[in-house]
């Protein structure tokens, strides 16, 4: 009988916390803690694919880009190369730590990191309305110069009065490149780390040439496309809360532990979940179930082994209870 396959999307707090400097020691410590929690799935015999975020890390790479150009005249690398850079660095860190934890627990599994590209539509409406803030915060004089020199687009920082930040499109992921290879490696028992930061957005031109664009892809949406593409049984989105909540942070807050597809759509239409944080995760989980996945679970890494924790989304509420 074929083993179950799980795709696990690591949230930002799995690697780095908001109140930290982002030193390699901090990132390695959080990564090790998260991977210890993933051992539950390994011990249960799951085949495993791991994805991860890269927001703070690729932001730091972009700022190093700026500093290198301004101070030393080093040519800046484009955004796709910076995303690839972050995928390689973070993937290496996760792989090395995963190998050490498997060794400590006397578990024999191979771990491999793949820099992942994700196909997008070059005519995606997102290209007409860039919204994703990246990189450093600039003053008015700086952005006027950069707009002229580089053609970048800026919006005010979300922190009022804090300056302007570059914005880029966030197109919808269509297809994961090398999907068959990823699936084959995972089904043979290898732990695969890929699609970091949502993957590198690419598209094919009229001549079939693979092109890149200055854009970023939502990590959870790309992970959902990946999970559906490999026919995963379960899709885990790890975040910093144990459950999904309705009216989070308000007196009317309510924990939503079991959700079917119909109720999930209803809550999304009502604007129950915050657009910048939980809503994209809900959409990603919902799309996985719509595309044939058994269930999607949103929780924090430390609660992964306790099956009573986490919000579960499935096609029908009754089908989840019966499993």
Helix/strand/coil for 107: coil
Instruction: Give me the catalytic one of 3, 4, 13, 174.
Output: 13
- Among candidate residues 54, 55, 91, 281, the one labeled active-site is 281
Choose, from 219, 287, 295, 312, the residue flagged as catalytic.
219
Closest CA to 96 of 9, 179, 193, 17: 193
219 is catalytic: yes
Nearest CA among 206, 230, 214, 191 for reference residue 102: 191
**What are the respective helix, strand and coil percentages of the chain, to the nearest 5?**
40, 20, 35
Distance, in Å, from the CA atom of 168 to the CA atom of 213, rounded to the nearest integer, reads: 10
- Tell me the three state secondary structure of residue 37: helix
Is 88 among the catalytic positions?
A: no
Distance from the first to the final alpha carbon of the chain? 18
Task: Tell me which DSSP letter residue 14 carries.
Answer: G
Whole-angstrom Cα distance, residue 33 to residue 206? 46
Q: Nearest Cα to 83, choosing from 222, 227, 288, 235?
A: 222
* Inter-CA distances, 260 with 267, 289, 323, Å: 11, 9, 14
Please give the Cα distance from 267 to 289 (Å, whole number): 16
281 is catalytic: yes
Given the residues 3, 4, 132, 174, select the one marked as catalytic: 132
Helix axes 278-290, 219-229, angle to 10 degrees: 10
The tokens of 202 are what? Answer: 């690419």
Q: What residues are labeled active site?
A: 12-13, 132, 219, 281
């Amino acid at each position: 009988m074929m083993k179950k396959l799980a795709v696990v999307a690591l949230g930002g707090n799995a690697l780095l916390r908001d109140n930290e400097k982002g030193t390699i020691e901090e990132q390695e410590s959080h990564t090790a803690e998260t991977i210890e929690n993933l051992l539950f799935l390994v011990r249960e015999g799951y085949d495993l694919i791991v994805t991860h975020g890269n927001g703070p890390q690729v932001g730091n790479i972009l700022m190093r880009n700026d500093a290198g150009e301004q101070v030393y005249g080093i040519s800046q690398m484009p955004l796709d190369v910076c995303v690839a850079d972050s995928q390689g660095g973070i993937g290496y860190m996760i792989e090395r730590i995963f190998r050490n934890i498997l060794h400590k627990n006397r578990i024999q599994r191979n771990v491999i990191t793949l820099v992942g590209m994700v196909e997008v539509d070059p005519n995606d409406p997102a290209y007409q309305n860039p919204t994703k803030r990246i990189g450093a915060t600039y003053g008015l004089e700086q952005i006027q110069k950069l707009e002229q020199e580089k053609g970048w687009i800026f919006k005010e920082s979300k922190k009022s009065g804090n300056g302007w930040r570059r914005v880029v499109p966030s197109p919808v992921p269509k297809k994961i490149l090398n999907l068959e290879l990823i699936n084959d490696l995972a089904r043979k028992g290898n732990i695969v780390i890929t699609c970091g930061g949502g993957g590198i957005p690419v598209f094919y031109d009229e001549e079939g040439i693979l092109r890149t664009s200055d854009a970023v892809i939502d990590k959870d949406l790309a992970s959902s496309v990946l999970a559906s593409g490999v026919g995963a049984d379960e899709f885990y989105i790890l975040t910093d809360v144990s459950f999904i909540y309705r009216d989070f942070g308000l007196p009317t807050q309510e924990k939503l532990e079991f959700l079917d597809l119909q109720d999930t759509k209803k809550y999304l239409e009502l604007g129950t979940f915050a657009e910048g944080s939980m809503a994209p995760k809900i959409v990603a989980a919902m799309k996985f179930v719509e595309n044939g996945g058994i269930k999607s679970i949103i929780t924090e890494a430390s609660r992964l082994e306790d099956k009573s924790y986490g919000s579960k989304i499935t096609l029908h509420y009754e089908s989840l209870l019966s499993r």
